[in-house]
Amino acid sequence: MSSTNRGKERNKFDYYVTPQKDIINFLKVFKGNHNELNNIENVLDPCAGGDKDNDMSYPEAIKKVFPVWNIETLDIRMDSKANFKGVNYLDTDISKILPDYNADIIFTNPPFNLAMDFVKKAMCDVSENGYVIMLLRLNFLGSKDRNIWLRNNMPYEIYVHSKRMSFTKDGGTDSVEYAHFVWKKGYKGITRLHLLEFK
């Protein structure tokens, strides 16, 4: 594939690289709040990213904080570093590609335009009492389209990245706040809000 076509494919699939330091910042605080994470076995990143110049951000960050977790990865792009490439998560029955696999956590930064679909499917795929953790814009909490679903499926926790995240090599930011939203399958209740340290 030529570099121009590779660039077009990246835009089409909303590919950008999440800084590992921000994922690690979140994971360390999340770990401090959840003793049960020591019993986690399987983590799925359903749009794991990576390319010839970049590692897959979430799997690499997870390995640094939870080295024993078993991480499975897939991505729709053929130039991704995922174990399963060319896979559209939204129409894939995970049991067909990973028989006898139960994801305790589904954890990623999904493509922006498909974020709601990713959250809904992940909530179906994750184990009972498991976690779905997605990096989303704070305004994911607004919008008429998401309102009914969100009110019936409130996140368990939200960890706000108080310092704006940068997704560009020059460290530039736009005026968008991001947070790691944590859903716990089976949980019905109010959301605990955490502000991550400004660093």
Ligand X SMILES: C[S@@+](CC[C@H](N)C(=O)[O-])C[C@H]1O[C@@H](n2cnc3c(N)ncnc32)[C@H](O)[C@@H]1O
Residue 10 beta carbon to ligand X: minimum distance, rounded to whole angstroms = 7
Binding of ligand X by 98 (CB under 6 A): no
**Residue 123 near residue 116, CB atoms below 8 Å:** no
In this chain, which residue has its C-beta nearest to ligand X?
Answer: 49
Among positions 25, 42, 73, 108, the unique one binding ligand X when judged by CB under 6 A:
108
Which amino acid is located at 17 in the chain?
V
- Contact window for ligand X (CB under 6 A) among 24-32, 33-41, 85-93, 176-184: 85-93
Contacting ligand X (CB under 6 A), which of 25, 61, 72, 77? 77
| Structure letter (DSSP) for residue 93 | -
Residue whose CB is less far from ligand X, 10 or 154: 10
Backbone angles phi, psi at 74, to 5 degrees: -145, 160
Contact string 36-75 vs ligand X (x = CB under 6 A): ----------xxxx-------xx----------------x
φ/ψ (deg, to 5) at 52: -65, -25
Q: Which of residues 139-198 bind ligand X (CB under 6 A)?
A: none
How far apart CA 92 and CA 87 sit, in angstroms, is 7
| C-beta separation of 103 from 97 below 8 A | no
Rounded (10°) angle between helices 144-152 and 115-125: 20
Q: Which residues of the shown chain bind ligand X in the complex (CB under 6 A)?
A: 13-18, 46-49, 57-58, 75-77, 80, 88-90, 108-109, 111, 114
